[in-house]
Amino acid sequence: MQRKDLANFQNIASELEKQGKDSALLDSARYTEQVNNITSDFEKRFRDFALLEPIATFMCYPFSEDHDIDSLAQNIGAVFHLNPSALEDEMLSLQADIQLKA
C-alpha cells in the first residue's frame, strides 16, 4: 500500500479507476494506518492462542522428546492457575509410563 501497489487491494484500485484517478494520487497514509490498527487488534485478540500452542502440541503427543517440560509446566500453570511443580511431576510420569507408550 505504501508503494502505491494496489494488487492486493482490488477494491481501492477499482474505486480509483471509477473516479478516473491514478494510484499515485492515493493517500496511502490513511489506509496504512487502518491496516496497522487492524493488524494490532488481530494480534491482541489472538495472543492467547500463542500461549496455548505448546500446550496443545504436548497434549497431542506427550511422548515427544522435543518438549521443554519445565517451561511447559510453567505455561500450563499460568494459563490454568495450577501448581507448576505438580504439573511437571505429572507430565514426567506420563512420559515415563511404558504402558501408555505402547
Let me know if residue 55 belongs to a domain: yes
Total domain count, the chain: 2
Let me know if residue 2 belongs to a domain: no
Predicted confidence at residue 58, as pLDDT, reads 94
14 and 53 together in one domain: no
Let me know if residue 5 belongs to a domain: no
83 and 54 together in one domain: yes
Count CB neighbours of 9 within 10 A. 17
55 and 84 together in one domain: yes
| pTM for this entry | 0.57
**What is the Cα Rg of the chain in Å?**
24
54 and 75 together in one domain: yes
CB 13 within 8 A of CB 20: no
Q: What is the pLDDT of residues 39-98, one digit of tens each?
A: 999 998 888 888 899 999 999 999 998 899 999 999 999 999 999 999 999 999 999 998
Which residue range forms the structural domain that includes residue 69?
Answer: 47-101
CB 88 within 8 A of CB 73: yes
37 and 59 together in one domain: no
**21 vs 25, more confident:** 21
